Structures are given as structure tokens and as C-alpha cells.
Amino acid sequence: MVGPLRPARATSDSTTDSPQRIVALMATVELTRHLKEIFPPLTAAPFEMDVTSVADVVRRLEELAPGVAFYICDERGRLRKHVNIFIGEEMIRDRGKLTDLLKSDSKVFIAQALSGG
């Protein structure tokens, strides 16, 4: 698990009169196999992260694997042309500042395009 846990959410079990159970929901971050090969500390992915934006995800990944942020983003912090980030099935909208917001149960997938012949 990466970073501190967000306060857990209480849910009730509607089938019994048992007390509420605590369930922690965090964003899940997955990467392509290629990124895991280039940055071995990321081979443990998928990660569960307490993050609120795509920019937070990139910062957390950089803490785990120095250099990955510059692989994903350029010197101005913009997503590189050969990299795509998805939240669920949707590609992020803000490739410049990575401000797309995440929910506690978001699924984030980071992929890079490989080219060549």
C-alpha cells in the first residue's frame, strides 16, 4: 500500500443486525508491463493509493520509483505525447496539469505507446 490510508468508510450489512463494518476504499493504480520493466520498484503494481488527482498519482509513483515522473511527464509537468492515463474507461482530459479528479474507488491505468518497426 502506498501512502497513508484515507479514513475508512462505514458500511452497513443490510442482511444482519451486525454493527457497521469499516471498509477502506482507495484508488487503484495499474501500469503497463513495460513501465514495470523500466522501473523495477513498480513491479508490485497495482497499487492502492490515497490520492485525489492524477497529479497526485504521478507524485506518489515518483516517490516509489525516482525518474518515472519524468518518463510520464515533460519538464513542464505535461503528460508526454506517448503516454495515456485512463480513469476507468475514460482518457484523462487535462494532459497539461493532470488535474482530473479521482474518487476513492477509481481505477487508474497508465500506458505508453510503443513504436518502431
CATH number, domain 21-112? 3.10.20.30
Residue type, 78: R
What mean pLDDT comes out for the span 26-45?
95
Each residue of 16-25: pLDDT tens digit? 455 555 445 6
- Reduce the DSSP state of residue 61 to 3 states and report it: helix
* 117 against 90, higher pLDDT: 90
pLDDT tens track for 57-101: 999 999 999 999 999 999 999 999 999 999 999 999 999 999 999
pLDDT at 93: 97
pLDDT mean across residues, the chain: 84
Report pTM: 0.77
Residue 12 has pLDDT above 60, yes or no: no
* pLDDT at residue 9, rounded to an integer: 38
From residue 48, alpha-carbon distances to 29, 93, 101 in Å are: 6, 22, 16
* β-strand pairing of 27-31 with 107-112: parallel
Instruction: Return the half-sphere exposure (C-beta side, CA atoms, 13 A cut-off) of residue 117.
Output: 0
Task: Report the pLDDT value the prediction gives residue 54, as an integer from 0 to 100.
Answer: 97
